[in-house]
Amino acid sequence: MASGAASGEQARDPQSLGRLESAAVELPDDAELFVGPDADMLNADCLACHSPSMIRTQPPLTRDQWNAVVIKMQTAYRAPVAPAEIEPLTDALVRLKAAG
Ligand code: HEC
């Protein structure tokens, strides 16, 4: 390929990259952990796959709906929810949402 060397040179030339500007990026609070009395359980059981904000920004769900979410996470997606944790976790999610 005759043009290979030429384009390789160009890629190493900083001028060819154009002007780089730093942008202020607002990241979701993905680094955050849940805090509070239920935090250990929520952090251990949900944060492997979701950010706290993903869970906090769910539409208002009833207790039964949260219970169904927890069971679905456990059975369909293999979330590490022990059977004995299903009810306490459901309560924790209802409290979490009630707290805003
Ligand atoms: C092993 C990974 C995993 C874990 C752990 C997990 N989830 Fe999920 N969750 C998923 C996947 C995959 C989806 C489906 C995403 C989609 O459909 O876009 C999902 C979807 C959801 C949804 C969206 C509504 C729905 O029913 O699809 C909610 C709410 C949710 N998870 C909450 C939780 C909560 C609360 C926990 C902790 C008990 C949890 N998840 C733990 C993988 C996980």
What the block records as the tokens of 64 is 């039964």
Burial class, 47, CB count within 10 angstroms (exposed 0-12 / middle 13-18 / buried 19+): middle
Is 89 touching ligand 1 by the criterion CB < 6 Å? Answer: yes
88 is a domain residue:
yes
Query: Which range, of 2-11, 50-59, 63-72, averages the lowest pLDDT?
Result: 2-11
Tens digits of per-residue pLDDT, 70-94? 999 999 999 999 999 999 999 999 9
The answer to whether the CB of 73 falls within 8 A of the CB of 79 is yes
* Torsion angles phi and psi, residue 62, rounded to 5: -75, 170
Using CA atoms, how far apart are residues 24 and 27, in angstroms rounded to an integer?
9
Q: What confidence score (pLDDT) does residue 4 get?
A: 47
CATH number at residue 80: 1.10.760.10
Supply the range of the domain harboring residue 74: 29-98
User: Is 66 inside any structural domain?
Assistant: yes
71 C-alpha to ligand 1 centroid (Å): 10
Q: Is 63 in the pocket of ligand 1 (CB under 6 A)?
A: no
Count up the domains in the chain and report the number.
Answer: 1
Residue 9 within any structural domain of the chain: no
Question: What does pTM read for this prediction?
Answer: 0.77
- Domain assignment of residue 2, yes or no: no
